């Protein structure tokens, strides 16, 4: 069994150096750098906020006054055993117990997923089959599950003659862009992994802001979207966004929301001008609203009225 | 028996001119007042537009254009009354929307509806509110314009649409048959009713 470890990271406020404790230091830049190095060291070594005195003496051998400065303002606390402890390390940054809990949950989740696959007998070989849940066309939505999911057991969509499920049907695969190995097209060789759990909490408000900005940019009306839509935006970023880092995802969301509003504002889209509506629009292939008949030509208002040039037809505008 | 002696025709100044009776039947009641000597016309339409219209009464093609409720139809009715009084020939006021629905409401196999037939053959028609009729394939408006152009019959129109909208609606062929060598009068002034 291969254990996949993600690279550890720390969570720091963007304005952490503006904190009053840093402002009380003699050199803010030096203190901020020193404190950040202590934080990353403790997280990488899974020390739960503990910073070894030996590491500090070796790392800051010539500039140990920076450590003393941090101790003075209370960002580092001297322990009885001689080591130091970072102020308010958890829960913003994960402790060893939190990491263990998360890994345990991941193990259970994967085990249940594998058991479900084995019970439905859809594994055709003893090797690990590619993850076909992640497709570009059949992404799960807030109201529907994927086609593959519906064709598993009750099999209303299964072909009775061949015994092949809908998803395994080559015609259906071609129609919906489902290929062996994950998403269709270029993404087939690199199936997209889910976003890390922390991404939702960190970037959710930014996604919401990007969406409302994009809609309001076109409608010129205030647009609001509650936290209930964060999971929808997470799916959008996870499945559709070309770049999933927060700045790129927000820029992409803003652009897509604006394009959605341009097409559908006032045309009563399904689920409205909301992230759910945007998700449906993206999943349906960015379709515009239906047009029934030709647009009716009406007389312009006084503001839009203008005199035309008829000279090419030999007409004379008498004045 | 000897034949009665022929008496030369002398128009009776007390009787309306020939054609005026038919014209009055086609003019909607809302525009019965519309004459060049009516005080309401001076209140409704700017004097400059009235003067231009009065000078264009002899033109075969006149297009009265302007925003909605500007007084185009009032001016057109006054003009067509003046034309009938001068030419002593019949003329008709024709709603574009009636031409648009005339064929649908007429039984098939019985030729053209009377409204379309009159619009095609009358010596002069005032086609009111061109472009306001429903846009469908059975509209007789383009056919009336084509027929009158082919017969070299004068046609006056009022419309609130711009050139771009007219071309989009009817195509350049129809628009050219209406506006070619026409006198275009922009009826100015904002209506007081809005």
- For chain B, list the domains and their CATH numbers: 20-186 (3.40.50.300)
Query: Quick one: closest CA in B to A316, which residue?
Result: B183
- The pTM of this model reads 0.49
Order of strands, sheet of A316-318, starting from the edge strand that comes earlier in the sequence:
A316-318, B183-186, B61-65, B155-159, B125-128, B92-95
Q: Is pLDDT above 70 for A151?
A: no
Q: Is residue A99 part of a domain?
A: yes
Q: Is residue A308 part of a domain?
A: no
Q: How confident is the model at residue A186 (pLDDT cuts 50, 70, 90)?
A: very low
- Closest approach of B162 to chain A, Cα-based (Å): 7
The pLDDT of A300-312, averaged and rounded, is 87
What's chain B's length in residues?
194
Of A59, A85, A117, which one is at a domain's C-terminal end? A117
First to last CA, chain B: 70
Q: How confident is the model at residue A302 (pLDDT cuts 50, 70, 90)?
A: confident
Q: How far is it, in rounded angstroms, from Cα A293 to Cα B139? A: 16
Q: What pLDDT was estimated at residue A2? A: 57
Q: Is residue A124 part of a domain?
A: no
The pLDDT of B158-168, averaged and rounded, is 93
Q: What pLDDT was estimated at residue A318? A: 85
Q: How far is it, in rounded angstroms, from Cα B122 to Cα A241? A: 67
Contact between B160 and B65 under an 8 Å Cβ cutoff? The reply is yes
Q: Is residue A172 part of a domain?
A: yes
The range of the structural domain enclosing residue A163 comes to: 133-192
- Do A66 and A100 have their domain in common? yes
- Do A52 and A111 have their domain in common? yes
Average model confidence (pLDDT) for chain A? 79
Total number of domains constituting chain A: 3
Q: What pLDDT was estimated at residue A28? A: 92
- Do A186 and A217 have their domain in common? no
- Closest approach of B101 to chain A, Cα-based (Å): 17
- Do A50 and A102 have their domain in common? yes
Q: Is residue A209 part of a domain?
A: yes
Q: Is residue A305 part of a domain?
A: no
DSSP B30: G
Q: What pLDDT was estimated at residue A161? A: 39
Q: Which positions in chain A touch B62 (Cβ < 8 Å)? A: none
Which of B180, B185, B186 is opposite residue A313, by nearest beta carbon? B180
Q: What pLDDT was estimated at residue A178? A: 41
Which of B68, B168, B176 is opposite residue A313, by nearest beta carbon? B176
ipTM: 0.80
Query: What is the sign of the dihedral through the CA atoms of A134, A135, A138 and A141?
Result: positive
Q: Is residue A293 part of a domain?
A: no
Q: Is residue A288 part of a domain?
A: no
Q: Which positions in chain B touch A297 (Cβ < 8 Å)? A: 131, 135, 161, 165, 168-169
Pair of tokens at residue A175: 């129609």
- Do A156 and A227 have their domain in common? no
Query: Quick one: closest CA in A to B170, which residue?
Result: A297
Q: How confident is the model at residue A163 (pLDDT cuts 50, 70, 90)?
A: very low
Pair of tokens at residue B149: 């152009």
Of B139 and A129, the one with more pLDDT: B139
- Do A181 and A204 have their domain in common? no
């Amino acid at each position: 069994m291969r254990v996949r470890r993600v690279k550890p990271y720390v969570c720091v406020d963007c304005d952490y150096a503006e904190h009053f404790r840093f402002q009380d230091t003699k050199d803010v830049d030096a203190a901020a750098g020193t404190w950040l190095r202590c934080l990353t060291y403790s997280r990488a070594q899974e020390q739960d906020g503990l910073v070894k005195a030996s590491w500090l003496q070796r790392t800051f051998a010539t500039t140990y006054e920076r450590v003393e400065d941090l101790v003075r303002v209370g960002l580092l606390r001297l322990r009885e055993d001689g080591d130091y402890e970072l102020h308010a390390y958890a829960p913003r940054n994960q402790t060893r117990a939190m990491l263990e809990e998360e890994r345990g949950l991941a193990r259970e989740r994967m085990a249940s997923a594998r058991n479900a696959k084995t019970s439905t007998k859809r594994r055709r070989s003893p090797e690990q089959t590619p993850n076909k849940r992640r497709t570009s066309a059949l992404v799960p939505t807030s109201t529907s599950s994927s086609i593959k999911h519906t064709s598993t057991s009750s099999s209303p969509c299964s072909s009775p003659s061949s015994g092949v499920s809908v998803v395994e049907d080559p015609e259906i695969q071609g129609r919906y862009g489902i290929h062996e190995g994950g998403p269709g097209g270029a993404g087939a060789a690199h199936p997209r992994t889910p976003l890390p759990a922390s991404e939702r909490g960190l970037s959710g408000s930014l996604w919401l802001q990007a969406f409302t900005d994009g809609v309001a940019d076109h409608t010129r009306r205030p647009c609001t979207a509650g936290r209930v839509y964060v999971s929808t935006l997470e799916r959008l970023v996870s499945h559709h966004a070309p770049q999933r880092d927060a700045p790129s995802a927000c820029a992409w969301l803003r652009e897509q929301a604006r394009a959605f509003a341009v097409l559908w504002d006032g045309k009563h889209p399904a689920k409205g001008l909301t992230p759910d509506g945007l998700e449906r629009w993206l999943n349906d292939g960015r379709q515009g609203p239906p047009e029934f008949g030709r647009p009716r030509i009406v007389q312009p208002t006084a503001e839009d009225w203008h005199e035309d040039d008829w000279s090419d037809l030999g007409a004379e505008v008498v004045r | 028996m000897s034949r009665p002696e022929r008496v030369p025709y002398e128009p009776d100044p007390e009787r309306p001119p020939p054609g005026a009776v038919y014209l009055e039947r086609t003019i909607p009641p809302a525009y019965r007042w519309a004459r060049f000597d009516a005080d309401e016309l001076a209140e409704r339409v700017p004097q400059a537009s009235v003067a231009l219209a009065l000078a264009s009464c002899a033109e075969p093609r006149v297009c009265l254009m302007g925003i909605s409720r500007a007084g185009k139809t009032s001016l057109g009715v006054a003009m067509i009354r003046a034309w009938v009084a001068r030419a002593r020939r019949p003329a008709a006021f024709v709603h574009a929307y009636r031409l648009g629905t005339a064929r649908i409401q007429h039984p098939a196999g019985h030729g053209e509806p009377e409204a379309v037939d009159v619009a095609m053959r009358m010596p002069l028609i005032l086609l009111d509110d061109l472009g306001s009729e429903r846009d469908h394939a059975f509209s007789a408006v383009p056919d009336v314009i084509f027929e009158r152009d082919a017969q070299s019959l004068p046609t006056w129109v009022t419309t609130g649409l711009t050139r771009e909208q007219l071309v989009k609606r009817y195509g350049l062929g129809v628009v050219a048959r209406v506006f070619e060598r026409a006198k275009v009068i922009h009826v100015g002034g904002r209506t007081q009713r809005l």
